[in-house]
Amino acid sequence: MMNSLRTFMLLAALTALFMGVGFLLGGGAGMAIAFVFAAGTNLFAYWNSDKMVLRMYRAQEVDADHASGAVRRYAEIVTGLAENARLPQPKIYVIENDQPNAFATGRNPDNAAVAATTGLLRILTEQEIAGVMAHELAHVKNRDTLTMTVTATIAGAITMLANFALFFGGNRNNGGIIGALAIMILAPMAAALVQMAISRGREYEADRGGAEICGHPEWLASALAKISNGAARIPNAVAERHPETGQLMIINPLSGRGRDNLFSTHPATQNRIDRLMEMSGGGAPEPLERVVMDPNGPDLFEGRRKGPWG
């Protein structure tokens, strides 16, 4: 309850920031226009933000009946995890991108989707993929997906509005070109800080929930170590063009460009790994041995259908 109230207050702060930028650009009329635009953006984001993000990353929907090899096993893993968590079957997507990463989206569990990059499917074992997708399904179960996609949409709109200040110079009574430059720089920074405050706590909660869904915290810990290393080496061009979507990912996709940790929407990866290993009662995670993604391979969930929530 407290976490939900905190999130509501932060979303209200984002909306207020949007209106404040409107006031600085156009006075009272600008604030009124920004309020209407913010309300419309919230409504539009509620219904369409998931589709926007999936389209932005050119995600392709897949299912186990019409896929083979690694993609088929990935789809089967998600289906097994959804059953374990007592969640409706989410839509499953693959993104053609070398950076290993994944995210979940959707306004509620009945309209949820999960997506993984081809880079992630290439470098992770089946157990590690299970840990990652369990994390994403925990976001779905906690109804984080709506919050994060709406937040990303509003933050993107704030950045766009702030950029207008450079061209229109803002309200002359509020600093003219100097005020416009201040808006352009400070408004996106403030939006990033609010995004950070919303996202970091939810990542820890999703790590814990994901560990419970798959039953093996060390699977997710090992995956996080590999994904973090991959994200640091392999840039994600789409995320670079749309940095407000970075909070949706399991690991910050902007790591490869050395973004300031102050504005990172994700906790430090090592802190997440340490918490997961405390849950498992072990030390530092040893990466699991690579396994062949055999479509006829063993069922990772055999005998585990009754999970902590079952």
Q: What is the mean pLDDT of the chain?
A: 76
- The whole-number pLDDT of residue 120 equals 96
Residue 225 falls inside a structural domain: yes
Does residue 305 lie in a domain region?
no
Residue-level pLDDT at 26: 67
Alpha helices per DSSP H over 64-175: 69-84, 118-123, 126-141, 144-168
Is 21 inside a domain boundary?
yes
Q: How far is CA 278 from the centre of its chain?
A: 24
pLDDT value at 181 more than 70: no
Q: Which of 35-49, 128-142, 250-264 has the highest mean pLDDT?
A: 128-142
Pairing of strands 60-62, 91-95: antiparallel
pLDDT reading at 90 higher than 90: yes
Instruction: Encode pLDDT of 201-232 as tens digits.
Output: 788 889 999 999 999 999 999 999 999 999 98
Q: Which domain holds residue 105?
A: 2-280
Give the closest residue to 255 by CA, choosing from 82, 246, 5, 9: 246
- Whether 306 maps to a domain, the answer reads no
**Whether the predicted pLDDT of 95 surpasses 80:** yes
Question: If we measure between CA atoms, which residue out of 51, 1, 42, 2 comes closest to residue 18?
Answer: 42
Q: What percent of the chain has pLDDT over 90?
A: 38
Q: Is 83 a catalytic residue?
A: no
Residue 275: its pLDDT value, please? 92
Higher pLDDT, residue 186 or 206: 206
109, 143 Cβ separation under 8 angstroms? yes
The count of domains in the chain is 1
User: Would residue 265 count as lying in a domain?
Assistant: yes
289 pLDDT higher than 50: no
Has residue 304 been placed in a domain? no
* 169 is a domain residue: yes
Task: Evaluate whether residue 111 is within a structural domain.
Answer: yes
Pick the catalytic residue from 126, 128, 136, 203.
136
pLDDT for 50:
82
